[in-house]
Amino acid sequence: LQGKMSHIMMWTLFLLLLLHLTNISQTYDFLKRHMDYPMTKVPGSANFYCNVMMQERELFKNGTCRLSNTFIHESIPYIQSLCYNPPGPCKIRHRQTCHESPDFLRVTDCFNIKDGQPPNCQYRTKFSYRKIRVICKNDRLFRLDA
């Protein structure tokens, strides 16, 4: 009986660790895809920013150029703290609950302007200030509701 209990305990700890690592991985994906603070300096025209960032971060989807992406130019702790704001409805993912920033934040939106295969993706860059909404799982950043 004691051997069985330690075996069950070991598997329980393993599954809890796996769950924790999954949460960390989802947060890492959010940070890689959306965070750029301080904003990376890219020489050339404004559109070079998105072309460079999307390629450097390898933000492709199933081997094709991603249609759009948003980079947030605020600190990670500030964006993470949004998970503790009161939840409300999302605007794009209607079945999800979002947490909105109380302030306008500096963001860059990248829009695909040419059909192509990575690494030959081309993007239009739009800099702006706006409120953002994030989806959190277990108080961790999960997805941007751009």
**Which CATH code of 3.60.70.12, 3.40.640.10, 3.10.130.10, 1.10.10.10 fits the domain covering 2-144?**
3.10.130.10
Residue type, 135: I
**Cα separation, 61 vs 6, whole angstroms:** 43
DSSP assignment, residue 35?
B
List pLDDT tens digits, range 87-129: 999 988 778 899 999 999 999 999 999 878 888 899 999 999 9
Domain spans in the chain, listed from the N-terminal domain onward: 2-144
pTM above 0.85, yes or no: no
Tell me the C-alpha distance between 142 and 65, whole Å: 22
How many Å apart are CA 54 and CA 83, to the nearest integer?
A: 26
Q: What is the CA radius of gyration of the chain?
A: 19
Beta partners for residue 129, in sequence order: 106
d(CA 30, CA 96): 16
The structure tokens 């993912």 sit at: 93
**Omega before 86 cis (within 30°)?**
no
Helix (H, G, I), strand (E, B) or coil at 15: helix
* pLDDT tens for the 146 residues of the chain, in order: 555 555 455 554 444 444 444 445 678 899 999 999 999 999 988 889 999 999 999 998 888 999 999 999 999 999 999 999 999 999 887 788 999 999 999 999 999 998 788 888 999 999 999 999 999 998 889 999 97
Q: What span, in angstroms and rounded, lies between the C-alpha atoms of 101 and 80?
A: 11
> If you average pLDDT over every residue of the chain, what do you get?
85
CB proximity list for 115: less than 8 A, separation 6 or greater = 65
